[in-house]
A and B are shown apart, each in its own frame.
Chain A
Amino acid sequence: MAVEGKAIDALGQFELGTVLGPVGAAVGFTQSNLYMLISAGLIFVLMMSGMRARAIIPGRMQGLAESAYGFIDDMLQAQVGEAGRRFLPFVFTLFMFILFGNMLGLFPYAFTYTSHITMTFTLAGIVFVLITFVGISLHGRKFFGYFFPEGAPLWLAPIIIPVEIISYLSRPISLSVRLFANMVAGHVMLKVFATFVVMLAGLGTVGPFLAVAPLAMNVALVGFEVLVAFLQAYVFAILTCIYLHDAVHLH
């Protein structure tokens, strides 16, 4: 599958197909949707089974559930302040969904739904709508003062306002492109080096020995990808917090 003729098929892993046989085909249920459901289920199981005991001395699952909760809670308090805690359910859901998507995608035969720009842009679009809505509902018309900093000379307004508006509109794009590009780049690299292993192993007697080099590279890359998977979920969550800070405090 990886080697077709002499070409490396690194992008085939991102192709969408329907799962669950004719039922899935009829409603267009793709493997991307399937993995979204799986990750939502896993998050649900983690939080529910982790918090069922409600022990004073937490067990492993409870410790995991509590540290995930505390991590986002700390992040919101540090970035947005006390007013930010009301956004905890939103940011927590976002973070866990992206984290589980990134991590699940590293399993063999799994599909990474965060490697599709439509998916990440939808998430970023939700964040964008939320921060705009929060800004307008908290500050009313003063929210539009965000696009023109106080104290700037008035004759600069025709330049500053369009630039600020475009900078504001670029937020969901930078948010989604960063996550999407990181996931795609990582998975393409893994696939390319995995293909090198197969190609080199077929090179007669010396081949299998040469193939060790890309294999070692892939082992290192998988470790690196685990880091990237966590880091990108973290960056997405913290940028959401920073944007929420701007919306709540207007600078």
Chain B
Amino acid sequence: MDDPDSLNRRLKAARDRQGLDKPEAVKGGLPTSSWGFGLRAGVEVFSALVVGVGLGFALDRWLGTWPWLFVLCFIVGAAAGVLNLYRLFTPRSGARKD
């Protein structure tokens, strides 16, 4: 007969194949509920846009180039928002492995 652990091992392998066991959440990670995640994504885009618009507005007032730097910074801010989103969706490497 098999050793007693073999059943557990095969059971574990079978459950993994079917995806029945949820992967253990990284300890101390950010909450990942769908609502929280959505709000986080919104805030990330919004804040990058705010910085872009604010920076463009201030630079234009200073240099008197309205509206060109505003338009440019708006686009750069939007790109930064997308970058923030990309960072949000890319799993971070934990510090323990460094």
Contacts and interface: CB of A to CB of B under 8 A. Distances in A.
A245 interface: yes
Contact of B95 (A84, A162, A181): A84
A159 B83 CA distance: 12
A163 B83 contact: yes
Q: Interface on chain A toward B: helix, strand, loop, or mixed SS?
A: helix
Given A162-B76, A163-B79, A164-B83, A170 B51 contact: yes
Nearest to B40: A178
A162 B56 CA distance: 12
B22 interface: no
Contacts of B63: none
B96 A170 contact: no
Interface in A86-119: none
A159 B76 CA distance: 8
Interface stretch (A18-26, A49-57, A72-80): A72-80
B71 interface: no
Interface residues of A, number: 31
A166 B80 contact: yes
B28 A74 contact: yes
Nearest to B44: A174
Interface of A: 74-75, 77-81, 84, 159, 162-164, 166-167, 169-171, 173-174, 177-178, 181-182, 231, 234-235, 238-239, 242, 245, 249
Given A170-B44, A245-B95, 6 more contacts: A163-B76, A166-B51, A166-B55, A170-B80, A173-B50, A178-B43
Interface of B: 26-31, 36, 39-40, 43-44, 46-48, 50-52, 55, 73, 76-77, 79-81, 83-84, 87, 92, 94-96, 98
